[in-house]
Amino acid sequence: MSIDLSQFFEVFFEESFEGLDAMEAELLNLVPGEEDLETINTIFRAAHSIKGGSGTFGFSAVADFTHVLETLLDQIREGSRDLTAEHVNLLLKSVDCLRALLRTLQAEQQPDLTEADELRIKFEEILGMRAASKEPAQAQEAVSENSFNTYQIDFKPHYHLFKTGNEPLYMISELAELGELETQAFQDDVPDITNLAPEDCFLSWRFFLTTDKEQSCIEEIFEWVEDDADITITLCGGLFGDEDISAAETATEDAAPAKEAEPAVVKPTTDTKKPAPVKATTANAESTSIRVGIDKVDSLINMVGELVITQAMLSQLGEQEITEATIASLQEGLAQLAHNTRDLQENVMRIRMLPISFVFSRFPRLVRDISQKLDKQVELKLLGEQTELDKTVMEKLSDPMVHLVRNSLDHGLETVDKRVAAGKNPVGTVTLNAFHQGGNIVIEIMDDGQGLNTTKIREKAIKNGLISETDELSDNEVNELIFLPGFSTADQVSDLSGRGVGMDVVRRNIEALSGSVEVASAPGVGSTFTIRLPLTLAILDGQLVRIAEHTYIIPLISIIESLQIDISKVSRVGKDLDVLRLRDEYIPILRLYNIFNHQGAIETLDKTLLVVVESDNQKVGLLVDDLLSQQQVVIKSLEANYQKVDGVSGATILGDGRVSLIVDISGLIKLSGLRKPGSQELIIESKANLEAS
């Protein structure tokens, strides 16, 4: 009976990617001449596991490539070869190459081996394998050309072979594919039934293989179990036949195990062929599985137990006669049910929460590579790595963060010469900091570089027509201009010595996560990009508001304050836009009943409420009839269940069964026709009583 190994593919890929992450992290810690043996061993073990697993599952391209870098690591850990910077760079490139190979295989595609072959040649040159192996290989090829050889192969696995995940059946199958194979199995080590441990391997084998292949082809089949078995390969001579078997058996009779089984010819069958590629539903493995700590699972089980107890209590009350005492107990039980449900919800959500170190861990490599390319000295500081964030948010956060860090390295930090000339430490610093704040997660990308050049940004914005020369903007408003699409060309950025490439995409991606991004900068001191995100995309803290007969939900993260309108501070701008003077700024008032086309809403300004919200660094006031309660709501996608609706980010089902729409503040501002800061021309015509407007 054959085992369908494809069911284990996802586990293999997951563990291999974790192994590559570990290799990369340890390689970045290596300093030639000061390397720690345990670090080398950790890297070697990760490479060895990937090689063994890929060989087991039939991914020979990965196993072959891993073998050469494993050989180099083995020589380094044994002390026969010194570690050099070239080795570290080559091993890091190999990690990238292996990661690409595995992702391609995971997506059921044929991997491109061009880079792997180039790297393998470099490894073989370092190891001296190419020069040393060329002549013997040519000689053996000449000898074996148009001829067959018979090899005797003694294979005695150690007892623990199965526990390493290796399967002798697949090795035998691969041997059979090389030529004609005779097999003898020895059972004399098999204990009686009372002492039999099914997870141990007690069998050993002797093979006689007649093939036109080189001996190295046989060695490759066993190379990933060479530490877990006794293997001897002997060249027996010419074409294999019955006489040769007898001769070989006679010659090895003394050395052979005592009890021999009947010889059997093993031929490759469909059952023992290499497993089919994994049936992956998506090329992105990160979204297919998640590892959860056992403490979270235990907590969830406890919560379910509490729910079961509460349910039993309520059921018992339902069977009793309704009295004042039972009503009080029922109310107590319902309160307990609400408490347990809330705890269960929080614990279920915790399952999706992962430390942000999963994102941060990719930046040491990124900073190392880019700083070398730019010839800058950079220190990367990581703070708040254990801050937890929803897995879905984390996966979508990675690309914007990479973009911001690359910009800090490229445009923010000065070269060594410039830093020294400015009296700064020649080593620049990039800091990534994550922390929780008010139910949200805040991520800061800070650098101590030259900061944004507001003068050049302003000049470029005027040149591109994004603002006019008469626009009076504060430094913060000028800095915000880098998020406008008009700055997204390389030529413009090279002239700016500031940020600009793709910042509009960064902001758009962050806003797609219901978050926001801001920038603060000081010339010669540095810049800080601050990203604010909800902890999860599945549940939202919202403010319920009423507009006519309809209930809408405004995300609490966007709300600054709610107030009653002082009509004396309202002015008319243009033909139909009202603005409220709130302290030192004018807040545009958006009438939601007009935007959503509802009849029957309160239109008199001093009889309604204004919810001041902010998105995209722009504040607006939303006119609502009344504020209802605040509550957590489960977000349902409108696009998946209906269609995209401008100004609405999703929907939810309220406790009374009604569907309520969740307001998309950014989309609402665009829908209203308001323009971005720097291009908005507000002309106050008059202060007047606008009740009738």
Question: What amino acid positions are annotated as catalytic residues?
Answer: 48, 70, 407
- Residue 24, CB half-sphere, CA atoms under 13 Å: how many? 22
CA separation, residue 354 to residues 43, 290, 302, 363, 624 (Å): 25, 9, 21, 17, 38
DSSP 88-110: HHHHHHHHHHHHHHHHHHHTT-P
CB atoms inside a 10 Å sphere around CB 212: 13
3-state secondary structure of 460: helix
Residue 421 burial (C-beta neighbours within 10 Å; 0-12, 13-18, 19+): exposed
**Contact assessment for residue 416 and residue 429, using Cβ atoms and an 8 Å cutoff:** no
525 vs 448: CA distance, rounded Å: 6
128 phi-psi bin (left φ>0, alpha ψ -120 to 50, beta other): left
CA separation, residue 419 to residues 380, 429, 453, 455 (Å): 17, 12, 16, 21
Q: Read off the DSSP letter of residue 260.
A: B
Nearest in space to 382 (alpha carbons), one of 338, 446, 337, 322? 446
CA separation, residue 596 to residues 188, 605, 624, 645 (Å): 83, 18, 12, 11
3-state secondary structure of 240: coil
List the beta bridge partners of residue 210.
150, 180
DSSP 538-582: SEEEEEEEEETTEEEEEEGGGEEEEEE--GGGEEEETTTEEEEEE
61 vs 117: CA distance, rounded Å: 10
Give rounded-to-5 percent helix, strand, coil for the chain.
45, 25, 30
Map tokens 């099914």 to a residue: 198
404 vs 446: CA distance, rounded Å: 10
CA separation, residue 193 to residues 148, 197, 198 (Å): 43, 9, 10
DSSP 121-179: HHHHHHHTHHHHHHHHHHHHHHHHTT--EEEEEEEEE-TTGGGGT--HHHHHHHHHTTS
673 phi-psi bin (left φ>0, alpha ψ -120 to 50, beta other): left
Nearest in space to 654 (alpha carbons), one of 562, 546, 515, 548? 546
Map tokens 């190379």 to a residue: 223
Kind of pairing, strands 378-383 and 428-437? Answer: parallel
35 vs 27: CA distance, rounded Å: 10
What tokens does 237 get? 């001579």
398 vs 443: CA distance, rounded Å: 12
What tokens does 75 get? 């020589």
**Contacts by residues 257-261 (CB-CB < 8 Å, ≥ 24 positions apart):** 257/186, 257/188, 257/189, 257/204, 258/188, 259/186, 259/187, 259/188, 260/184, 260/186, 261/184, 261/185, 261/186, 261/187
**Contact assessment for residue 623 and residue 593, using Cβ atoms and an 8 Å cutoff:** yes
Q: CA 318 from chain center: how many Å?
A: 49
Backbone angles phi, psi at 459, to 5 degrees: -60, -40
